Structure 1
Amino acid sequence: MKAKHESMKNHVPNGLLTLIVAAILLASIAPIASAGWDYRKPVTINNPGDTLSDYQVLVTLNSSNFDYSKASPDGSDIGFVDGDNTVALNYWIEEWNATGDSRIWVAVPSVDGSGSTTIYMYYGNLGASDARDGDATFEFFDDFPGTSLDKNKWQLGDGVPYQCYPIDYRVSNSTLVTWSYTPQWKSIQSDYTISSSETTIVEARVKSDAHDSWHILGLKDHSYINRNRFCVLFEGYPENHIGIQTKTPSEWNRPHDLGVMQKNRWYKLKIIKSAENTMGAELIDNNGTLIGDYHTTLYSWDASKWQIVQWKYDNVYSYWDYVFVRKYTSSEPITTVGAEESDPPRPPIPTYIRSTDTDDDGVPNVWDADNSTPAEYWTDSQGIGRMWGDMNGDGKLTSVDALMILQVAAEAISL
């Protein structure tokens, strides 16, 4: 309790007022906090292939397997745990659609080969914090939050002709917008690299406001952009079509047309690196329908590492909503969402009372008057996580917790 005593002293500007507010607050929120998660569902992962480690598994929800009225409107109160209910799993919501399909990627530590693995999805908790985390879920991830580009994730050209100048860009509305204001080769590429032996899938949600003869998404040799490439370009030949360009040390080709990509409409592009010298691409519309795909093996590719790239020459706006990299396997696991369980056992997922945290820093404002208390203040030292105010760690908010908080406050002030 010593650490809590010291923290409390720093965050009680008015002792008597704090005691009164704490007592009233605890009494008013106890019924909510005690409720925890109201429901959970088992999610069975059927894997026909080999055992997978730290694999990103897709969970699809719709009205046939999930009652959206029992969860937050934006899905912010869901959480995933392993089959033993001992480890919280990282996840990211690609799409939450209460009238259609919702797509959620869950990073599962181990998926049994030639069999099934069960995890659990929890939901129905007014006190749950939104725990979706793309960075923790994928090998690489960016959904371009805020108004600035994360320079720890991206490189902007290198200022040398043919190696490309920095691309023109802005970040707004959680979208990266790119163009080339002057007719020069310009690029943006990931700091993250994929080794030649790795197998991965790069996925991006993209659109463009006009045809562009260069690459809206691709992989390129990390050492030299003009040596090895596999890229998708919105070239418009024939009209509105999107094609493939490949480049080896000795030649480049445009071997395939993926199909029609209309201007100013969102699509998903996938680049699939399924072997050291095998690449593929898929064009998918915003409803999830595959428009076209292509795969090729080029043994003359000799890149030791690959980077995600966008390469532009024209003053045409292109948009990335998100980009992520996930692991690849030739036989994707398939998930099945099971029957709902009411009043489930408490999961190892941290929670707090959102309504008391108006600045969204993970700390109730009653103890955070100057916005300096770390979020870990209300998380137990084992990293399991407790409800806000659960001083004795029993998973409930009771009068015992209220008395403990009042005792700490009383010891920290002079009335």
Structure 2
Amino acid sequence: MLNMMKKYEKITKLCHAPLIFLLSSGEKKTRGKKKLGGDEKKMTTKTSRKVLAIAFLTTAVVLAATSAAAAATPLGSGDWAFSTTLRVSENSGTTLHEYPILVNLSGENFPTEAKTDGGDLRFSFAGQELNYWLEEFDGVEKRGAVWVRVPVLPAGESVFLKMRWGNPAAASESKGNAVFEFFDNFSSPSSLNNWQGFSWDRDDCIDFYYPAEINFSLDDGWLRAYRPTQGSFVLKPKNISFDTKFPLVVEAEMKMPMDWWNKNFGVGVLFGNGSLTDTDTEFTAVFAYGLEYESEKPYLIKLKKGSNIYIDRDNNPGYSFNFTQPNRLKTVIYASHLEGFHEHHHILSKDYDIQKDSDSKFAPIVEFNTDAWHPGEIEGFANWIFIRKHADPEPTVSFEIGEPSVSVATDKTEYRIGDKMEVAVSVANPTNCSLEFQWFWVVPEYSVCVPVLTKSVAAEYSESLEFSFGIPNWGAEPFGNLFYVQLSDAAAGGEVFECDALWWAYVPYWKGEAGAVPAATGAGAETGAGLEENLKRVVERMR
């Protein structure tokens, strides 16, 4: 993980706060050692204007720096002190759009400097802020899970996201309904009105799907659903259905703290041909099913109205659930088989011709069950439930260990006419994809921005480049210069991964030597246009 604070402080000492605007998009990526490749590229007008606009804002401070270094500007409420890079690799061979990916935070990848609730986490791609949902963030156990909606994942390729944290003033922007196709975390009493309950009984499976007296309440952020009479029940959102398109994924967090034995619950979908209410005549319910005892095995259930109940146990060894604690369940429904997961562990798989029994619409469901001979009410709790897109295999997310880096340095900070300037540029791209290196020469006082070098940097490249040139006669007046270098990902819309800036001054004479300076020669030597052309000639000689 990269701490960008020192980088910010270094550059703001040179150029003051305005440069933060550009540096806030600074990024990184991973691995090795190779060679600078690619042809020199033309700097786009858009990039030139961006760099120049930032440089103009720094004019006053750059000129003042000829006599004293500017103090570092404290990071404001819109700044994040830490960032790192995530590689998201598409593995299914199909381009995915608006796809939610899961970022697991643990061990050395856990952002310990973040707020205790993770509220200052942010994610971006190509400079665009991304919607995310914080499923879990435990600063004590150093464990977290975040779902991030990525605009596009090209088939078989990797994209890079930026994760930022370390901003005490930032409020959480976690929004599950902006990440998933359907989402409910029962965050307010009004959400109780969005659900309805139906019952089914093993002894009467011909008519198992009918309205039941299910009472709802909120209990410490969880939806509590309970049936005053014995039996089982299914919960379904009201007036919500989706077009059926395989595969389907439904995930939920559930628990049943009742002190009863032989409890079980499940998460899945209800297929139907209409609004999926009790008046529908045909439907099929499919879900993964968890059992309480180790001697039992997880189920995959298929229930069809007007026919028998089909129960098949998985061939895997028994898998126990602690029903009094939160249980994370996931059911993946393909056209011809189903998969069940508990706490991200694959626990069961069955072949079914689901497509034959499905219909044009579906809705998410959760189910709670005990053996029918238990007296009294049955209750179950749900913390959240969502439907999301699914690719097989799913995209993978990794934290980039090696970070791209770039720096620029000169042998001194002030130069007179006839001096020789030595410039060292260090570039490292330890990632496995090419990046773009850009170097700009900025003279804010004359509104000049000249591209010095733009090149493609090959994967696993690391080298220090040296340049030198003689300082010509640019007139009798001193002025400040800024060398700005950056590494960016052209494929990701120009996202800047790393950057550096260096201030130096053209001082044609030392104090008391003004009479020894020759007058400037050549047309427009001290004008912006003349200086720009002069710098371009110097750049050509440097190359």
- Aligned ranges for residues 245-284 of structure 1 at < 5 Å? 245-248=301-304, 250-257=307-314, 259-274=319-334, 276-284=335-343
Asked if structure 2 preserves the Cα contact closer than 8 Å seen for 1:42 and 1:118, the reply is yes
Q: Would the alpha carbon gap of residues 212 and 66 (structure 1) be closer, same or farther in structure 2, given more than 3 Å must change?
A: closer
* 1:90 matched to 2:131: yes
Asked if structure 1 preserves the Cα contact closer than 8 Å seen for 2:77 and 2:169, the reply is no
Structure 2 counterpart of 1:167: 214
Q: Which SS does the other structure have where 2:169 is aligned?
A: coil
Q: Which SS does the other structure have where 2:319 is aligned?
A: strand
Asked if structure 2 preserves the Cα contact closer than 8 Å seen for 1:204 and 1:269, the reply is yes
Structure 2 counterpart of 1:58: 102
Task: Please tell me the residue identity of whatever aligns with 2:342.
Answer: L
CA distance in 1, matches of 2:281, 2:313: 21
Q: Which SS does the other structure have where 2:210 is aligned?
A: coil
Structure 1 unaligned regions, length at least 5? 1-29, 343-415
Q: Would the alpha carbon gap of residues 297 and 240 (structure 1) be closer, same or farther in structure 2, given more than 3 Å must change?
A: closer
Once the two structures are superposed, what CA deviation does each residue of 1:66-91 show, in whole Å capped at 9, x if it has no partner? Answer: 441x2112111111111x21x11000
Structure 1 counterpart of 2:229: 182
The one of the two structures with greater contact order (alpha-carbon pairs below 8 A, sep at least 6) is: 1
Within the candidate set 210, 217, 226, 2:267 is matched to 217
Q: Which SS does the other structure have where 1:254 is aligned?
A: strand
* 1:48 matched to 2:91: yes
Structure 2 counterpart of 1:205: 253
Asked if structure 2 preserves the Cα contact closer than 8 Å seen for 1:211 and 1:263, the reply is no
Task: Please tell me the residue identity of whatever aligns with 2:129.
Answer: A
What's the offset of the Cα at 1:278?
3.4
Asked if structure 1 preserves the Cα contact closer than 8 Å seen for 2:84 and 2:162, the reply is yes
What's the offset of the Cα at 1:33?
2.4
TM-score by length of 2: 0.50
CA distance in 2, matches of 1:237, 1:318: 18
Within the candidate set 399, 404, 407, 1:337 is matched to 399
Task: Please tell me the residue identity of whatever aligns with 1:267.
Answer: N
Q: Would the alpha carbon gap of residues 108 and 170 (structure 1) be closer, same or farther in structure 2, given more than 3 Å must change?
A: same
Q: Which SS does the other structure have where 2:76 is aligned?
A: helix
CA distance in 2, matches of 1:97, 1:52: 30
Once the two structures are superposed, what CA deviation does each residue of 1:194-235 show, in whole Å capped at 9, x if it has no partner? Answer: 323242311111111235677543322343487411134456
Q: Which SS does the other structure have where 2:237 is aligned?
A: strand
CA distance in 1, matches of 2:369, 2:154: 47
CA distance in 2, matches of 1:130, 1:120: 17
Structure 2 counterpart of 1:244: 300
Within the candidate set 79, 82, 88, 1:39 is matched to 82
Structure 2 counterpart of 1:318: 380
Q: Would the alpha carbon gap of residues 336 and 304 (structure 1) be closer, same or farther in structure 2, given more than 3 Å must change?
A: same
> Which range moves more in the overlay, 333-342 or 195-204?
333-342
Q: Which SS does the other structure have where 1:33 is aligned?
A: coil
Q: Whose strand proportion is higher, 1 or 2?
A: 2
* 1:74 matched to 2:117: yes
Asked if structure 1 preserves the Cα contact closer than 8 Å seen for 2:264 and 2:292, the reply is no
CA distance in 2, matches of 1:42, 1:202: 29
CA distance in 2, matches of 1:138, 1:281: 19
CA distance in 2, matches of 1:251, 1:165: 20
Structure 1 counterpart of 2:203: none
What's the offset of the Cα at 1:304?
2.0
Task: Please tell me the residue identity of whatever aligns with 1:260.
Answer: S
Q: Would the alpha carbon gap of residues 40 and 318 (structure 1) be closer, same or farther in structure 2, given more than 3 Å must change?
A: same
CA distance in 1, matches of 2:188, 2:365: 21
Q: Would the alpha carbon gap of residues 226 and 38 (structure 1) be closer, same or farther in structure 2, given more than 3 Å must change?
A: same
Structure 2 counterpart of 1:296: 351
Q: Would the alpha carbon gap of residues 246 and 213 (structure 1) be closer, same or farther in structure 2, given more than 3 Å must change?
A: farther
Structure 2 counterpart of 1:143: 185
Asked if structure 1 preserves the Cα contact closer than 8 Å seen for 2:89 and 2:159, the reply is yes
- Aligned ranges for residues 349-360 of structure 1 at < 5 Å? none
Task: Please tell me the residue identity of whatever aligns with 1:56.
Answer: P
Asked if structure 2 preserves the Cα contact closer than 8 Å seen for 1:211 and 1:235, the reply is no
Task: Please tell me the residue identity of whatever aligns with 1:330.
Answer: D
CA distance in 2, matches of 1:235, 1:62: 29
* 1:231 matched to 2:287: yes
Asked if structure 2 preserves the Cα contact closer than 8 Å seen for 1:148 and 1:171, the reply is no
Once the two structures are superposed, what CA deviation does each residue of 1:50-71 show, in whole Å capped at 9, x if it has no partner? Answer: 1110000111222322441x21
Identity %: 22
> Which range moves more in the overlay, 209-218 or 58-67?
209-218
Within the candidate set 168, 189, 195, 2:243 is matched to 195
Aligned length: 304
Q: Which SS does the other structure have where 1:149 is aligned?
A: helix
CA distance in 2, matches of 1:253, 1:177: 28
Q: Would the alpha carbon gap of residues 127 and 239 (structure 1) be closer, same or farther in structure 2, given more than 3 Å must change?
A: same
> Which range moves more in the overlay, 297-306 or 325-334?
297-306
Q: Would the alpha carbon gap of residues 330 and 71 (structure 1) be closer, same or farther in structure 2, given more than 3 Å must change?
A: same
Structure 1 counterpart of 2:164: 122
CA distance in 2, matches of 1:59, 1:46: 12
Q: Would the alpha carbon gap of residues 213 and 90 (structure 1) be closer, same or farther in structure 2, given more than 3 Å must change?
A: same
CA distance in 1, matches of 2:281, 2:294: 26
Asked if structure 1 preserves the Cα contact closer than 8 Å seen for 2:252 and 2:384, the reply is yes
CA distance in 1, matches of 2:327, 2:225: 16
Q: Which SS does the other structure have where 1:317 is aligned?
A: strand
CA distance in 2, matches of 1:331, 1:234: 24
CA RMSD of aligned residues (A): 3.1
Once the two structures are superposed, what CA deviation does each residue of 1:254-289 show, in whole Å capped at 9, x if it has no partner? Answer: 101573223312211111123x353322223xxx5x
Q: Which SS does the other structure have where 1:128 is aligned?
A: coil
CA distance in 2, matches of 1:254, 1:213: 16
Structure 1 counterpart of 2:16: none
CA distance in 2, matches of 1:226, 1:185: 20
